[in-house]
């Protein structure tokens, strides 16, 4: 994978971030270093090995479908930078 300005643009877009041109050069360098570090993993022969995602074989996961409320509307809204008595308010997404 080559890290170039186009890729940085895409990643920035996905992360909803904006970078200055010189910052971008730095990021390209950093990302390339990270990638070449991770590349090392490719040296290991993983043919025929199932990817290990979780360390548990089975788990009695899940709860019964019982509803209960633990926080109030006021408590839910209190940390929002902007809210009214009912809703969270955010800058308009669609005009």
CB of 39 to other proteins, least distance (A): 19
CB-nearer residue toward other proteins: 14 or 41: 14
Contact (CB, 8 A) for 50 and 44: no
Which residues in 50-87 are b (16+ Cβ under 10 Å) and which e? eeeeeeeeeeeeeeeeeeeeeeeeeeebeeeeebeeee
Query: 4-43 mask for other proteins (x: CB under 8 A)?
Result: ------x--xxxx---------------------------
Query: 37-66 mask for other proteins (x: CB under 8 A)?
Result: ----------------xx-x-xx-xxxxxx
CA distances from 35 to 3, 13, 21, 92 (A): 9, 20, 21, 37
Site stretch for other proteins (CB under 8 A), options 25-33, 35-43, 75-83 = 75-83
CB of 34 to other proteins, least distance (A): 16
Is residue 87 within the footprint of other proteins (CB under 8 A)?
yes
């Amino acid at each position: 994978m080559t890290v170039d300005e186009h890729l940085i643009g895409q990643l920035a877009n996905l992360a909803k971030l904006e970078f200055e041109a010189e910052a971008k050069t730095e990021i390209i360098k950093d990302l390339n270093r990270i990638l070449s570090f991770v590349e090392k993993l490719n040296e290991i022969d993983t043919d025929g090995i199932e990817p290990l995602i979780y360390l548990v074989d089975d788990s009695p996961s899940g709860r019964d479908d019982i509803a209960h409320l633990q926080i109030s509307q006021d408590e839910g809204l209190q940390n929002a930078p902007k809210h009214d008595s009912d809703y969270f308010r955010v800058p308009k997404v669609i005009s």
